[in-house]
Amino acid sequence: MSTAEPTIITKRLRADAVRNRAKVLEAARAAFAEHGAEAQMEDVARRAGVGVGTVYRHFPTKQALAEALVEERFDRTIAFVRGLLDEEPDPWRALERCFEYCAATQATDRAWAAALALMAGGTMGPREHQMRELLALEEQLLAGARAAGVVREDLVATDLPALFCGLASVVQAGGDAWRRYLELLLDGLRPPAR
Amino acid sequence: MSTAEPTIITKRLRADAVRNRAKVLEAARAAFAEHGAEAQMEDVARRAGVGVGTVYRHFPTKQALAEALVEERFDRTIAFVRGLLDEEPDPWRALERCFEYCAATQATDRAWAAALALMAGGTMGPREHQMRELLALEEQLLAGARAAGVVREDLVATDLPALFCGLASVVQAGGDAWRRYLELLLDGLRPPAR
DNA sequence: ACCTGAACACCGTTCAAGT
DNA sequence: ACCTGAACACCGTTCAAGT
């Protein structure tokens, strides 16, 4: 939930700085949702009602700002999967809902796709802690599915980032081709003998 | 094979203009292979040994230059699939080799991924003629595979662009995760009853 | 301590001057 | 007809001056 750098003690910020940081993040969410990766820093500053310098004071680079949004998305995704684990009794349906969540999430947040690509590439990069946590939860989910015999025996959590990355890019491609894509993909994850 | 605009009569170019155009394309191939989408026009001009203005005379925009490379790639891909159709007797292996070609091709040419995304999105865009030709060849290939009972009955050529688009993004993500991804994907395309 | 916004750097694109 | 490269526009980033 904390938006401070991991492993670094949160610096005490002046009250107005805290408010500005929040306004910048809020503005960035809107700007990135609307314009994707080519959202402009000047625009973020304008929406937040601050000078560009303030944006850069809180986030040293556009990339860093995008990553902060990704961090939020990770938290939400982790919460979602945790929710599935104790609310969705059907292990296959739970897996299916993970993929649907991934697809739905792409529409409003394009920086997220870049993060998924990082995971798929195996370079944990920053957000390593969150990536591990998400993978651990997904492994639990898969364990249930394997035990129920509804997925191929050899499917493990570390296979998933690449699958999500692929799905993300198909969703980004536009149109509704991703639905058919997901159908083929999910069918292919079932155990070979049916 | 022609690199002129489709449906527009090829203008007669002065001999030096023809040479320059070829030099620019050659330079662009190298620049894009090395730096991906953020290759610089100035760099392309330098490699080609011409002024930037000349690059812009032949290709009105960086996007247009990237598209010219994509056009070449389309031609090569079409030739490759055509080759498969009369050299590869095993219909499953032929399909497999299409995907492997797609993956291999990503390493050296990142603009290609954008074109695949266009196809996946269903927006034929420019290159429509080439897209249709490629799809027609792939449909022939799939027809053979379906007849031999080695792929799911309902798999059609228009399903493929999304699959290629997904694979492309996983390859771009780096690492070798794409091999496992491709394994899962291809297994999933086999007929359900084995 | 933190904020502002003019100034700088970089790169895509244009165009006046050349051949 | 085509080429050149200085100049322009745009946007990410910095920093001197303010509060």
* C-alpha Rg value of chain A to the nearest Å: 19
Q: Does A120 touch chain B (CB under 8 A)?
A: yes
The two three-digit tokens of residue A92, written as one number: 């296959």
CA to C1' distance (Å), from A51 to C5: 7
Mean pLDDT of A120-128: 73
Q: Residue A120: which of B123, B170, B187 has the nearest Cβ?
A: B170
Q: What is the rounded distance in angstroms from the CA atom of residue B64 to the CA atom of residue A111?
A: 25
A:B CB pairs within 8 Å? 103
- Please tell me which residue lies nearest to nucleotide C14, judged from CA to C1': B53
pLDDT band at residue A26 using 50, 70 and 90 as cut-offs: very high
* Residue among A184, A187, A190 with most chain B CBs within 10 A, to mutate: A184
Q: How many CA atoms lie within 13 Å of A162's alpha carbon, on the beta-carbon side?
A: 26
DSSP state of A91: H
User: What is the overall mean pLDDT for chain A?
Assistant: 89
Residue B11: what pLDDT? 65
Q: Does A124 touch chain B (CB under 8 A)?
A: no
* Residue among B112, B163, B169, B190 with most chain A CBs within 10 A, to mutate: B169
Residue B147: what pLDDT? 97
Residue A55 beta carbon within 7 A of nucleic strand C: no
- Please tell me which residue lies nearest to nucleotide D1, judged from CA to C1': B14
Q: Is the pLDDT of residue B193 over 50?
A: yes
Nearest partner of B194 among A188, A186, A159, judged by Cα: A188
Amino acid (one-letter) located at A108? T
Domains of chain B: 14-60 (1.10.10), 66-189 (1.10.357.10)
pLDDT band at residue B194 using 50, 70 and 90 as cut-offs: low
User: Which nucleotide in the DNA or RNA is closest to residue B21, CA to C1'?
Assistant: D2
Q: Is the pLDDT of residue B190 over 80?
A: yes
Residue A103: what pLDDT? 94
Nearest partner of A170 among A78, A84, A106, A87, judged by Cα: A106
Instruction: Verify whether the Cβ–Cβ distance B117 to A166 is below 8 Å.
Output: no
Nearest partner of B108 among B168, B44, B167, B68, judged by Cα: B168
**Selected residue with higher pLDDT from A73 and A113:** A73
State which residue of chain A sits closest to B122, comparing Cα positions. Answer: A175
Distance of CA A95 to the CA centre of its chain: 16
Query: What percentage of chain B carries pLDDT values higher than 90?
Result: 68
Between A2-6, A165-169, B6-10, B41-45, the lowest mean confidence (pLDDT) is in: A2-6
Residue A185: what pLDDT? 98
Q: Does B192 touch chain A (CB under 8 A)?
A: yes
Q: What is the rounded distance in angstroms from the CA atom of residue A156 to the CA atom of residue B49?
A: 52
Q: What is the rounded distance in angstroms from the CA atom of residue A179 to the CA atom of residue B181?
A: 19
Helix H segments across B88-176? 91-108, 111-121, 128-147, 160-172
Residue B6: what pLDDT? 42
**Chain segment A45-65, per-residue pLDDT in tens:** 999 999 999 999 999 999 999
Q: Does B84 touch chain A (CB under 8 A)?
A: no
Residue B4: what pLDDT? 39
Q: Residue B173: which of A120, A167, A193 has the nearest Cβ?
A: A120
Q: Which whole-number Å values give the CA distances from B154 to A180, B91, B95, B151, B163, in the listed order? A: 11, 16, 15, 8, 15
Nearest partner of B113 among B158, B161, B150, judged by Cα: B161
State which residue of chain B sits closest to A178, comparing Cα positions. Answer: B162
CB B54 within 8 A of CB B113: no
Residue B126: what pLDDT? 73
**Selected residue with higher pLDDT from B82 and B7:** B82
Q: What is the rounded distance in angstroms from the CA atom of residue B14 to the CA atom of residue A131?
A: 57
Instruction: Verify whether the Cβ–Cβ distance A189 to B184 is below 8 Å.
Output: yes
Residue A11: what pLDDT? 65
Q: What is the rounded distance in angstroms from the CA atom of residue B105 to the CA atom of residue A58?
A: 40
CA to C1' distance (Å), from A74 to D17: 40
Amino acid (one-letter) located at A182? L
Q: Residue B117: which of A173, A181, A189 has the nearest Cβ?
A: A173
CA to C1' distance (Å), from A24 to D6: 39
* Residue among A38, A123, A169 with most chain B CBs within 10 A, to mutate: A169
What are the DSSP calls for B72-86, one per residue?
A: HHHHHHHHHHHHHHH
**Selected residue with higher pLDDT from A8 and B133:** B133
User: Which nucleotide in the DNA or RNA is closest to residue A41, CA to C1'?
Assistant: D12
Residue A4: what pLDDT? 39
SS3 at position A168: helix
**Chain segment B37-52, per-residue pLDDT in tens:** 889 999 999 999 999 9
Q: Which residues of A touch B168 (CB under 8 A)?
A: 169
**Chain segment B98-146, per-residue pLDDT in tens:** 999 999 998 767 777 776 776 777 666 778 899 999 999 999 999 999 9
